[in-house]
Amino acid sequence: MTGERFTAGVSRDFLDAHGRNVWGDIRLGELDAAGVDWHYLPRDTGELLAADVDGLDAVLFAGPAVTERTFAGAARPPALFARFGVGYDTVDLDACTRHGSLVTITPDGARRPVATAALTLLLAVLHNLAAKDRLVREARWAEKEQWMGLGLTGRRVGLLGLGNTARDLVGLLRPFEVDVVAYDPYCPPETAEELGVRLADADTVMAEADAVIVMCALTEETHHLVDARRLSLMMRTAVLLNVARGPIVDEAALVEALRLRRIRAAGLDVFETEPPAPGHPLLTLDNVTLSPHALAWTDEMSAGNGGSAVRAVLDVAAGRVPRFVVNRAVLDEPRLVDRLGSRAAARTEAPV
């Protein structure tokens, strides 16, 4: 690897059918400026295979899964899989670690856009925005009195997850003078105290909050964290929002709670199966606001996620460990150590 030009592949799901990057500026120009030889992968695929990535030094990707098959038969798998986004539930971290590949995410790029999207969805649900939009489009203006909203000021907001994005949302909520209670067993108490957030168990958050917002990562531990039992703890006037991952919420149980008006409303940017099937009950309910896993899709997110992923690529090209590595055990893998050492040595001899 020493002295060789650093090569990177970019997943093809960034492109439309005409080959245009629909995400806009994701900072790929910084790869050009650094002398990185990059190209879009030839296939638009839901799963990266060895033939797609073998011989590359890094892969910047959004949608495709990274699995054991990504490495099967690969003579020289990438040293880095830089995920454009914060979720990595479709990435086999164990396989990446075994094969000496770093996996990074972009929490610094997604933090503010997702927090803003959560606030947008919260206000839309509380104000019945989707229902009121339908009233105008369907000439049902006279029914507007049936759709009085709820003000946010002074309410209690419950967060399931108090990571970086949720902490950013706490700041955005301050002008509304809300009380914030959160469930996050991994959040240091002193961090919550600095934010003015009360930590509690998940049941307490569900029972006490006027609005519950799902903002945690999808893991085995959080799968169906919001199930029928926890939904039954919510106040009938409360609303549930999910801007994280669909399977954290038991969708069938949520549909039942909404249908029977056991909770006031819901707002979903994510679903258990994406896209939901035609005729899915969620599509027929008038007390749910929906978005196609794209509410945070803005130029701000494109530049933020792209810049963060590109920085990870440039770090590896220079022989440095990137900032947001999620499989830290790989740092002890001899193959990775050798590759980073080779890049660092090459860096001292000539620009990448």
* Tokens 């970019």 belong to residue: 10
Q: Choosing from 4, 47, 194, 274, which is the catalytic residue?
A: 274
Task: Indicate the CATH number for domain 110-290.
Answer: 3.40.50.720
Q: What residue type is 6 in one-letter code? A: F
CA–CA distance, 190 with 302 (Å, rounded to integer): 32
pLDDT value at residue 87: 84
SS (H, E, C) the chain: CCCCCCEEEECHHHECCCCCECCCCCCCHHHHHCCCEEEECCCCCCEECHHHHCCCCEEEECCCEECHHHCCCCCCCCCEEEECCCCCCCECHHHHHHCCCEEECCHHHHHHHHHHHHHHHHHHHHCCHHHHHHHHHCCCHHHHHHHCCCCCCCCEEEEECCCHHHHHHHHHHHHHCCEEEEECCCCCHHHHHHHCCEECCHHHHHHHCCEEEECCCCCCCCCCCECHHHHHHCCCCCEEEECCCHHHECHHHHHHHHHCCCCCEEEECCCCCCCCCCCCHHHCCCCEEECCCCCCCCHHHHHHHHHHHHHHHHHHHCCCCCCCECCHHHHHCHHHHHHHHHHHHHHHHCCC
CA–CA distance, 331 with 321 (Å, rounded to integer): 8
293 is catalytic: yes
pLDDT value at residue 352: 45
261 is catalytic: no
CA–CA distance, 102 with 99 (Å, rounded to integer): 9
The angle subtended at Cα 150 by Cα 146 and Cα 207, nearest 5°, is 115
Indicate the angle between helix axes 107-126 and 129-137, nearest 10 degrees: 60
134 is catalytic: no
pLDDT value at residue 101: 98
Instruction: Given CATH 3.40.50.720, say whether it is the number of domain 7-108+298-349.
Output: yes
Q: What residue type is 52 in one-letter code? A: D
Q: Choosing from 12, 99, 112, 245, which is the catalytic residue?
A: 245
CA–CA distance, 333 with 73 (Å, rounded to integer): 19
pLDDT value at residue 4: 74
pLDDT digits (tens, 9 = 90+) for 143-172: 999 999 999 999 999 999 999 999 999 999
Q: Choosing from 156, 223, 262, 293, which is the catalytic residue?
A: 293
Residues of the chain with pLDDT under 70: 1-3, 347-352
One fold for 7-108+298-349 and 110-290: yes
Please answer whether residues 103 and 81 qualify as being in contact, where contact means their C-beta atoms are separated by less than 8 angstroms. yes
pLDDT digits (tens, 9 = 90+) for 243-297: 999 999 999 999 999 999 999 999 999 999 999 999 999 999 999 999 999 999 9
Extents of the domains making up the chain:
7-108+298-349, 110-290
Residue in 165, 164, 168, 163 with CA at minimum distance from that of residue 183:
163
Please answer whether residues 126 and 116 qualify as being in contact, where contact means their C-beta atoms are separated by less than 8 angstroms. no
Question: CB within 8 A of 174, min separation 6: which ones?
Answer: none
* Tokens 């509690």 belong to residue: 200
pLDDT value at residue 137: 97
